[in-house]
A and B are shown apart, each in its own frame.
Chain A
Amino acid sequence: MSPIGVDEWVARSGDRRQQHSGPLGALSRAYARVNWWQRLLVLAALGVAFGQIGANGFQQIVAFNSVLYAILAVGLNIVVGWAGLLDLGYIAFFGIGAYGYAMFSSHALGSLLTMTGGAELPTIAAVPIVLVFAGLVGMVIGLISLRLGGDYLAIVTLFFGLAFFEFVNNVDQTNLGGNNGIIALLPWHGFGGEIRSTIGYYYVVLIILILLMAALHLLNESRTGRAWRAVRDDELAAEVMTVPVNAVKVMAFSFGAMVAALAGTVFAAQQGNVFPTNFQSPILILIYACLVLGGVGSIGGAVLGGLAVTIVQQMLGSPTDEGYLFYGIILLALFWKVRPWQYLAATLAAIVGFGFAAHAIAGAISRSAIAGPTGSVGWIGSALRHWVVVPVNGETYGNILFVVVVCALIGIIRLRGIVRLVAVVPTIYFAACCWESRLSVDPAITAEIMIGGILVVMMAVRPHGILGTRRVEIV
């Protein structure tokens, strides 16, 4: 129940007064004592340190992607979190940055390059031009937002995003590359050197992120930041208080666009190419997930979300890690939710016992009912071999179990107390059986289902994100 009529500061006073004891409390007090720029320096130091340990190619790319998505989430935060404008076409600005950079840095294009004298521009000139262009486009979109509100703006920005993809894919094959994209781009170069390796680009995005966080923090604390928050909370009141609402909104779009375009230029340089399919809805959904899971309205939240979502997504891409994540989440949920520890121990014991009993019964009924291979390989698979019931042709069995588990989960929500714990035991066992017999056989599809499930659960548990602040409805 939202506290009606209470303002934000008062609503969070309870949080402020709560003091934690022990090491967690000491840590939180130390955190609160440290200045924002000191925290930023620590983050920068961690980032640089990571770059120094000998990471292999894959780890470098994951690190680069995480920081890139952090930058994108921070940029989106300006538009959605601070100014409160729902921008569903954000991916188009990312694409504008990438394609803009590509047009100025490619050997492979047609007549457009004669505009630049036939020579590719040096990075120090190309990137600012692209940024300015993106800022102008952002301003135009921002002007549209003055006329429309809320969800209507969402639709128009969505069109813009889709139109960008169509435009780049279909219009003008010679200059924009069409389906086949633009390949063989020049890397970022200047001052006699050039950046060719992924780790080099990782440092570039790290520097960009730190500088961006610092700049945006300062901006947030300034009049502009206060103006943005005022417009987000109550536009009419802000206007009455002489906040230039229109200028503020357009500026938010513009800034967000420039941040995305900057990310786009680095992305294009690191990949060495641009393809239209790199700028479609799945990426937009990912950026939004980063921002919302991390906490809308908070820079730290956006960065945390960017890092977390990218890393979890990579984890889900590898089948063994997926298994760890699946079982890990189940155990984590049990540990978090079941208190006191006696109940927890009893539940775990019951699950194990139920499993062995079911395995024995199924084996007694029919040998082929337990003869199927477990999907997980390695030590998890061998450990669970004698615990789960996996028949030889487990596909239909697994499908049915999946539906049963989902229904059971829905049912569990409606139960309370000890009955809930009793229902949890077979549910978890069936979930494990379903995993071994069906879900881990198709790890790529299961990864997508798990991503969806994680989004739903995270939003149900903590709707304002990890570092977001609860906003209070003022009636």
Chain B
Amino acid sequence: MKVFRYLVAAAGVIALASVTVFAGTSAAHNATVAKACNASIAIEAPLTGPVAQLGLEQLAGAKAAVGAYNKADGVHVTLGQDDTQLTPALAVTKTAAIISSNAVAIVGPSGSQEVLAVGPALTTAGLAAISGSATNVTLTTNGADKTFFRVVATDGVQGPQDANYILKHEKPKAVLIIEDEEAYSTGLGGTIQQILTAAGVTVNVQSFNGQDTGATLANDLSSIVASQLNAAETVTVMPIQEAADAQQFAEDAKQAGKTTLVFGTDGTDSSSQFFFPGSLVSNFAPDIATVNSKLDKTVTKQIKAAGTYGPFGVPSYVAAAVEVNAIASVCKAGKTPSRSNVLAAIRKTNLPANANPMGQVIKFKADGDLTTSQFYLFKINASGKYIQISTK
């Protein structure tokens, strides 16, 4: 009967699909036939979903770095893409796919939750993972993942720096902290809150659902402005991931006639979306599109050619560059790149400050954090440009 025809067809399709999936999983990340120095790495980022912009910027950064350093080091490294949608369960599946393939290193995962979820699997496989955006402090201290590195400073650096700057320069009596109920936000917000409270400042912590969009988001922010923002709160800290939300809050406050200094963290660094004059933004790297050095101009051009340029692209660029360099050094020593020797090579990375667009020395400690890490501070001037100021 007709149902049966469909059933057999469906079974055939599933069988075919299963064969291709189960037989061809390595095809996705396969290196070409081993001639010269060939290897493959993979990037795990949220390429679709609510934070797709972050993932796409990281992808562009990684692609640009792989292209540039392939040429510079004379190697042939291919980059595979894996979309995790910032969901830990999906990250576990994609990591398993990467582990089963030939990839020798990973750029990512992007989210702290994902790193927590895939850590044990990565350690068992001995696969190095360098993240450009997972900033939760416990990732390197809880010992769950011994092959995890990151090229950005942790919340443990950004939080105190921001809080101390506020205390020293703004001397507020009360501060409003607005979080977006995501892991990044609550961690950073908590750190800042502790320091401010210890210094005697009244801290008012509010949060809105960071996944809200549209009219609901407008309602959230305008409600906070109407009911929470009072005259004593001269500084509003927004450790959130969506720069446009900071801009909207600032404008809502202005419309309601309330003055407050909006202080955004690295998630809000985006000159096209957050440009409210007088605000402060802290970030782990300057926006290299505005810097005049030759290296930064070249890197900006490369990233723009590879996809969409944005602040999250630069750390992924550096992460991918570190991995390609490690692979090249393994090949130069005459060995075939494998996970263990690439991991060892990554541990020996020493990239000087003027050779990478992040402007700081890239050298890892034993637990995977950078040896020196700094955060930059920017003030937005009257025409919406980011001017770097001293953090002292």
A positions within 8 Å CB-CB of B? 15-16, 18, 20, 24, 27-28, 31, 55-62, 65, 166, 169-170, 173, 178-181, 183-184, 198, 267, 271-273, 275, 277-278, 280, 282, 304, 307-308, 311-312, 314-315, 317-321, 324-325, 328, 332, 378, 442-445, 447-448, 462, 466-467, 469
Contacts and interface: CB of A to CB of B under 8 A. Distances in A.
A170 B181 contact: yes
B14 interface: yes
B169 interface: no
A444 B27 contact: no
B81 A273 contact: no
10 contacts: A24-B4, A27-B4, A58-B93, A58-B99, A61-B92, A183-B116, A280-B87, A315-B20, A315-B21, A378-B27
Given A180-B116, A442-B47, A61 B96 contact: yes
A413 to B, nearest CB: 21
A111 B185 CA distance: 25
B113 A179 contact: yes
Given A59-B25, A181-B113, A466 B14 contact: no
Contacts of A332: 13
Interface string B178-201: 000111001100000000000000
B142 to A, nearest CB: 9
B10 A320 contact: no
How many B residues touch the partner, as a band? 35 or more
Contacts of A315: 17, 20-21
Contacts of B27: 318, 320-321, 378
Q: Enumerate the 8 nearest inter-chain pairs by beta-carbon distance, A residue then B residue, closest first.
A: A444-B47, A444-B83, A318-B28, A179-B183, A58-B100, A28-B4, A56-B100, A58-B97
Contact of A311 (B17, B49, B183): B17
A15 B3 contact: yes
A469 B4 CA distance: 12
B94 interface: yes
A94 B207 CA distance: 27
Interface of B: 1-8, 10, 13-14, 16-18, 20-22, 24-25, 27-28, 47-49, 52, 55, 80-83, 85-89, 92-94, 96-97, 99-101, 112-113, 116-117, 120-121, 136, 144, 181-183, 186-187, 207, 209
B4 A466 contact: no
A66 B235 CA distance: 50
Query: Which secondary structure dominates chain A's binding surface?
Result: helix
Given A61-B92, A65-B93, A462-B6, A321 B85 contact: no
A17 to B, nearest CB: 9
B313 to A, nearest CB: 15
Given A445-B48, A466-B10, A275 B4 contact: no
A28 B100 contact: no
Nearest to A270: B92
A311 B100 contact: no
B100 A24 contact: no
B189 to A, nearest CB: 11
A324 B20 contact: yes
Contacts of B112: 180
A266 B100 CA distance: 23
A15 B85 contact: no
A181 B182 CA distance: 11
A58 B186 contact: no
B117 A271 contact: yes
A466 B24 contact: no
B269 to A, nearest CB: 22
A319 to B, nearest CB: 6
B362 to A, nearest CB: 27
Nearest to B2: A15
A31, A198, A278, A325 pick with most chain B CB within 10 angstroms:
A278
Given A20-B4, A448-B48, A308 B13 contact: yes
A414 to B, nearest CB: 26
Nearest to B92: A271
B309 to A, nearest CB: 14
Nearest to A278: B89
B3 A467 contact: yes
Given A180-B183, A448-B48, A462-B6, A318 B99 contact: no
Contacts of A178: 186
B2 to A, nearest CB: 6
Contacts of B52: 445
Contacts of A179: 113, 181-183, 186
